[in-house]
Amino acid sequence: MRNSILKLAAMSVAMSALAVSAPAFAQEEEAESGPITITGGITGVSDYRFRGVSLSDKDFAIQPTLTVKHESGFYVGVWGSNLAENAGDDVEVDIYAGFAGGDELTYDIGATYYVYPGVSSFNYVEFTGKLGSTVGPATVGVQLSYVPSQDNTGNNDNVYFGTNASIALPDSPISIVGSMGIEDGAFAGPDEKVDWSLGLTANVSGFTLGASYVDTNRRSTFAFKDSSAGVVFSLAYFF
Q: What is the pTM of this model?
A: 0.85
Q: What is the pLDDT of residue 17?
A: 40
* pLDDT value at 74 more than 90: yes
- Please say whether the beta carbons of 154 and 186 come within 8 A: yes
* Residue 34 or 60, more confident: 60
Q: Return the minimum-mean-pLDDT range out of 33-37, 54-58, 100-104.
A: 33-37
Biggest distance spanned by C-alpha atoms of the chain: 51
Contacts by 230-233, CB closer than 8 A, 24 or more apart = 230/47, 230/49, 230/54, 230/58, 231/46, 232/18, 232/19, 232/20, 232/45, 232/46, 232/47, 232/49, 232/197, 232/199, 233/45, 233/46
Mean pLDDT value across residues 78-94: 85
Which of 17, 67, 19 lies closest to 40, judged by CA? 67
Per-residue pLDDT tens digits for 111-153: 999 999 878 888 999 999 999 999 989 999 999 999 999 999 9
The pairing of strands 61-70 and 74-86 is antiparallel
C-alpha 163/C-alpha 132 separation (Å) is 10
Q: What is the pLDDT of residue 80?
A: 97
What mean pLDDT value characterizes the chain? 88
Per-residue pLDDT tens digits for 176-205: 999 999 999 999 988 999 999 999 999 999
Q: What is the pLDDT of residue 119?
A: 82
Residue 33: pLDDT band (50, 70, 90) is low
Q: What is the pLDDT of residue 121?
A: 86
Q: What is the pLDDT of residue 106?
A: 98
Q: What is the pLDDT of residue 14?
A: 38
Mean pLDDT value across residues 104-110: 97
Residue 4: pLDDT band (50, 70, 90) is very low
Which of 85, 41, 78, 44 lies closest to 61, judged by CA? 44
* pLDDT value at 26 more than 50: no
Q: What is the pLDDT of residue 169?
A: 96
